[in-house]
Amino acid sequence: MALLRDIESSLEHWFSVAGQYEIEVRRSVVEGSGATMDDVVELINRETGKDVMDSIRLRLTQFIAVENRQLEESLIAQEEQNSTALFVNFLGTLMIIGFALLLMRAMNRVHTQKLQMQERTQDLSDSDWIQSATETTTRALLDQTGLED
């Protein structure tokens, strides 16, 4: 910002020292109101504002170089941020996939245990029915034969 203010100040200085007068002389040549082309040539040969304008051009070149360097640094920083964000997203995706696999494995294990428990419950139920049927048949046979204790 300071460089731009310096350039603006130099432009104002050039305009007050040489620019305004040269513009007026050239305008009067075009309008035909007093000045001649010889006056314009004399102004150009004096190089009144040339040093100031050369200084402005140099500062503008410096300003452009600084801006280009800052733009390049900004682009490099942005690329680094993009790379970091991509890595974080990739890592997060891997973590989510890993968590999903662990969760799926745990749910499969719970489901398997549930099926095993249902089978055992059915086995126990079948065992109770067999025991109950055996007791009923044994009583009936004992009643028929009269061998009760």
Assessment of whether the complete model's pTM goes beyond 0.85: no
pLDDT, position 29: 66
pLDDT, position 27: 67
**108 against 43, higher pLDDT:** 108
pLDDT, position 91: 96
The overall average pLDDT reported for the chain is 82
Q: Which two tokens stand for residue 107?
A: 């749910």
Mind spelling out the 3-state secondary structure of 93-143? HHHHHHHHHHHHHHHHHHHHHHHHHHHHHHHHHHHHHHHHHHHHHHHHHHH
Quickly state the pLDDT bin for 56 (edges 50, 70, 90). confident
Count of CB atoms situated within 10 Å of the CB of 49: 20
